[in-house]
Structure formats: structure tokens, C-alpha cells
Amino acid sequence: MSANAILIANHTDKSLIQDTKKSTSDYRAYDLFLRVSLEGFTLNVYDKDKNKHLALKSYLMQEVKDFDELCQELHALFVKEELLQRYYPNVKVLFEGQKNTLIPYPLFDINELSNYLRFNHPLRQKEEISYDDLQNLEAYHVYAVPVPLKNFLANKFTRFKIQNYISSLIEILLINNKNQRLENTAFVNVRNSFFDIIHIEGNKLLLANSFRYRTREDFAYYLLYVLHQSGLNPEDVRVIFMGEIDKNSNLYEISYQYIRNIEFIARNDFFRYSYVFDDVPVGYYYNLLNTGLCE
């Protein structure tokens, strides 16, 4: 395995480790969910018949400059990682990319995909344009997908689906909160060097945006700026953290200096979880572990 792929989380149910001699047909109840970006790769094995998450492994990618290099790193990882050498009838890939835009149903024209993106983002030769149907939002999410990544996945899996990471996050939050009348609430999903902020009022999405940060001061600045621009007062807004953050994080510490009502999202009890997830902080990998809801 390449030295650029650093294993940072390894939670695998013993049943998956012990059943390597089983026939291919015994794996067909399992789904594979992946999260892919230039900065990391995470895999999640889900037993659909038992509605149970069985494994989660996460890798940090270091010194990867583009998606050609990322695919080289992923190839080395796929050769070594036994869980990635099995057959899965359903594979879903959450792609983390920054070139995306939301288009409401009435304004969407499939012939204008490239124009939607070019308005805000320069497009490169090795990019294809795709879109996700966000039924709960009644909008399409248009985004660019690197061709090298798409070709790599097509070579590894007979059948797979790519979905934009933010598409999944928006749909999950709308689904999991559809019976609540959210008010004065912002969801903040923390990644390695980006964070996503989602503002839902009632059952309507008012804001979905992502920001890169390098320091905790960057994080606090952009978070407070977005809250202010959205008319949310840090003194009384309800901020719900998820992703790579907990109470020991310096991102939480600086946020709490300015925002009083901070919560951490609860794990979705719709699913069952192997005992190995007892060691996973509750809000970590929330998007990936819930993406099965967005079928």
C-alpha cells in the first residue's frame, strides 16, 4: 500500500474478517459505500438484510495533487484491502468536489448543464458534468466529476453510482428532519480541511455552502460570517455539529467562544451498528453512514 495512504480509522466486525472462505453469493446482501476526495478515502460495508453497518475504514491521502495521482493511490489500496476485493451488488460513491450548483426543478434544462457550472466554475478537459435529483428539495444538483476517477471506478465495479457529497448531506438532513419544524438551526459538517454549512428553516433549505479552512481561526471566521449573512445570531442560533469534530477538538473550543447553543448530532437509530462502532465518535462519518437513505 502506498505510503501516501495513511489508515486513520479501522473498525471491522469480526464476522467480515472470518468469512473470507465464503462463496461470492454470501456477500450479495452487502452494500459498499465509499467517500472519495483528494484528501481521503473511506469505505463502509452495510448489511442490507440486517439493516446493519459492519465495517468502516478511513484513509488520509497525503501529497496527492490531482485525480490522476489519486487513482494511482486508490489502485494500490484496492490491491491490498481485502474488503475492496469482494463482490458487492450495490456500490455508492460519495464524491467530494467543489464545482457544483443547485438548480430548482422549474429552471432545470438538461441541455444547459455546462452553462450552469461555467457561470461560477472553470471547467477542465478531464471533467464530466453530472447531476443528482434531490427529490426532497425539488431541485437538481449539478456538479463536475473527474474523468480519471469515473474510469477507475468503472474498471473496479460492475455496477456503481456516483453522488455528490453535498447532495447526499442535504437529502439526509431533509429526510431525518422532515417531521420537525426546524427554526434558527444550522448544521455544520466538518471535514479534514473543508466544512459544510446547511441552514434549514421549517422544511426548506435556505443555505448550503462549503468553505476551506487551514486554521481554527479560519473555521471560526467563516462560520460566524455565514451565520451573520444568514441572519442567525450566534447568541441564540442552534448549531448542530457532525463529521470530524468532538468536544476535544480545537474547532469546537473556538466555536464555543462565540456560539452558545452547540450540539452534536445523534447517530441515526434507524440503522443497527456492529459493536465495532462503539469506538467511533457518534457524529463522525454521519453522511456516509446515512447515505443508504438516499436511494
Q: Residue 20 pLDDT more than 70?
A: no
Model pTM?
0.94
The pLDDT tens digits for 127-177 are: 999 999 999 999 999 999 999 999 999 999 999 999 999 999 999 999 999
pLDDT at 26: 57
62 within 8 A of 104, measured Cβ to Cβ: no
Mean model confidence pLDDT for the chain? 93
pLDDT at 112: 96
Does residue 126 or residue 203 have the better pLDDT?
Answer: 126
Dihedral sign of CA atoms 76, 77, 82, 86 in order = negative
Render 3-63 in DSSP notation, one character per residue.
Answer: TTEEEEEEEE-HHHHHTTTS-GGGGTTEEEEEEE-SSEEEEEEEETTTTEEEEEEEEEE-S
61 within 8 A of 41, measured Cβ to Cβ: yes
Q: Residue 116 pLDDT more than 90?
A: yes
**What domains sit in the chain, N to C, each tagged with a CATH number?**
1-176 (3.30.420.250), 179-264 (3.30.420.260)
Q: Which residues pair with 230 in a beta bridge?
A: none
Weakest mean pLDDT among 19-33, 73-87, 105-119, 144-158: 19-33
Q: Residue 264 pLDDT more than 60?
A: yes
How far does the chain reach from its first CA to its final CA, in angstroms?
Answer: 32
The pLDDT tens digits for 74-105 are: 999 999 999 998 989 999 999 999 999 999 99
pLDDT at 27: 55
